Structures are given as C-alpha cells and as structure tokens.
Amino acid sequence: MIFQFWYYPVLFLTAFIAGLVDSIAGGGGIITLPVMLSLGFPPHIALGTNKFQASFGSFTASYYYIKKDVVVLKSCINGIIFTLIGAALGTWSVQQLSSDMLKYIIPILLTGIIIYSLIKTNLGESDRRAGMNERAFYLIAGLTFGFYDGFFGPGVGSFWAIAFVAGLGYNLKKATGYTKVMNFTSNIVSLILFIIGGYVIFTAGIVMALGQIAGSKIGAEMVIKRGAKFIRPLFITIVVLTTLKLIYDRFIH
C-alpha cells in the first residue's frame, strides 16, 4: 500500500477516540478497523497493526485501574494465566479453521447481552455476592474468552464485563477495570504472533499507540470519577453498534 503523510493525523485521532471509548465500554475495534481498511490497509495488516495499537491502549487503561486500586492484580493472576493460554490456542486455531460459524453465533450472543443489560436496570451499580467460585470462574472465562479473542475477537470486552458482573458480582466500574487487564493479556499474545507473521506496520502502529494511550487514560479517569451510571448507557450503545456491524458484515455487505 502507498502511505501518505495525512494518514498519520487521521490514525492518531481515530486511535484516540477508540482508546477513549474502549477504556470505558470496550469496542474500540469497531472504530479503528473500518478506518484502517478504508485507508487501504490489507485485512491481515489492519488486524495486526490494530492489535499493536490496542495493546498500548489496554495496557494504559489496565495500569491506571491498578494504580487507582480499582483492580488488585494479584487477585486475577489465575485469569491472566488462563486467558493467555486461551488466546494462544485461539490464535493458533484460527490459522487452521474457518471462523465463519462464529460470525453467525456472536451477533446472537451479543443480542442476549443487550437484552440482559436493558432488563437489569441496575446493572453493576454496586458489588453483590459472587455467583460462582473465583478460581472456577477464571478457568472457564479465561479459557473461553481468551480463545475467542485470539480466534475472532469482536465483543470480547462486553462478554468479559457481563461475566464479571454476573459471575463474580462486581460493580460495572470494577468489571470494566478487570476486563481491560484480560483484554491486554489476550491482545499481547495475538500481537506477538502477528509480529512473527510480519503483519504489523510499526510506523502507523506507533502513531496510533500514542492516540490510544491518551484516549485510554482520559477514559479510565472518567470511569473512576463517574462510575456505573456513566458506563451503562455507553456500554449498551457499543454492544448494539458491534452487533449491527457484525450483522452487516455477515448478511448485507
């Protein structure tokens, strides 16, 4: 592809907005990937470069949530380990198998999240009793969502956030913080494999990473200050947009 200078400010601004949104409610990829593809990035290069910049965003948000004591890192070590294993298996598997079936299933699951979020009007406003054992939760969720993120990806932040609320009883602010730690874990595993495959444009990735860092820090600050009532409407909006995009890509485009 021919890279023009004006691409850089566009990519920076795109990544800034995506980092802001992603650190609050997930779904930054529905902003960055269409822009990158419209600029002429080949699909596999777009995916690899997107993982590069997204890793910086998820790391920044994770660090900020840990620093502000929203996340206690030692409490989710099991989640990190199982997510890492799941992501490695998923990234390997997608190179062996077709992901077409997931493109039909995932919009249905995301629609379920939308309905659940709308019914639960007090979704994640405060901590409540955990619905399952923490170790069992991380074993199941880590392997499942880690695998899914490595294999396909869209909506994984939404799945994690709802799982933390429903499974461990976290409030939505806390669930968002822990979700970013798990996102970073699966992002970095996929990124390493994309780099090995030569699917990252580093100049574009670095510019976007700077935008992601700035946007992610601001977004995380907003979450900490405003809490669940601020997160919930944006969370539902992002899940709806992700679902519509997947339906469009699968059945219309």
- 8-state DSSP, 222: H
Predicted confidence at residue 194, as pLDDT, reads 85
C-alpha distance from residue 113 to each of 81, 101, 117, 172, 243 (Å): 26, 19, 6, 14, 10
Answer whether residue 240 is part of any domain: yes
Predicted confidence at residue 101, as pLDDT, reads 67
Predicted confidence at residue 228, as pLDDT, reads 67
Predicted confidence at residue 152, as pLDDT, reads 74
Can you give the pTM of this predicted structure? Answer: 0.85
Answer whether residue 78 is part of any domain: yes
Predicted confidence at residue 246, as pLDDT, reads 78
CB-hemisphere CA count at 13 Å for 127?
A: 6
Domain count for the chain? 1
Predicted confidence at residue 97, as pLDDT, reads 65
Answer whether residue 26 is part of any domain: yes
8 Å CB contact between 182 and 79: yes
Answer whether residue 141 is part of any domain: yes
Range of the domain at 132: 7-252
| Mean per-residue pLDDT pooled into runs of 10, the chain (253 residues) | 82 94 83 88 86 93 94 95 94 70 73 77 73 93 92 81 92 92 94 89 95 94 82 83 81 68
Answer whether residue 72 is part of any domain: yes
Predicted confidence at residue 68, as pLDDT, reads 92
Predicted confidence at residue 28, as pLDDT, reads 83
Answer whether residue 1 is part of any domain: no
Answer whether residue 221 is part of any domain: yes
- 8-state DSSP, 132: S
Predicted confidence at residue 158, as pLDDT, reads 84
Answer whether residue 41 is part of any domain: yes
Predicted confidence at residue 102, as pLDDT, reads 64
